[in-house]
Amino acid sequence: MQRKNSKRTRWVNVRFTPEEYQKLEQQFHRTTSRKLSQYIRDSLFNRPVVTTYRNASLDGLMEEIGQLRDELNHIGNNYNQAVKKLYTLWRIEDFKTWIDRNEKDKALLFQKIDTLEDHLQKMVAAWLQ
């Protein structure tokens, strides 16, 4: 349904106490209205006001997932530093074998971290909408 864009030429001034205005702003910020004046018009004329909400049960989960992501990144960085340090020990034959085997594991670890990061970003984007 499209509304006519008619010029608004009439002004109405309303005074609020600081508490009333704070309550009005709080209600406004819970909606998808871009302007306070539009929110007031919609409320005044009983038009539907779309409000946003956040699923409180996901708050804790999202915090834990963010911490997990950070920990995985730290583990990956530490692993990468350890392998770089081992590369300096090419003189010992056992280290060469170990390094070759763990290069595949390292690639797999970083691939899984990237996959997890992608999924987390999708979940966060969906959660914030």
The pLDDT tens digits of the residues spanning 19-59 come to 999 999 988 888 878 888 888 888 888 787 777 665 656 66
DSSP lists the bridge partners of residue 31 as: 51
Tell me the C-alpha distance between 116 and 41, whole Å: 45
Tell me the C-alpha distance between 34 and 48, whole Å: 14
- On whether the pTM is more than 0.85, the answer is no
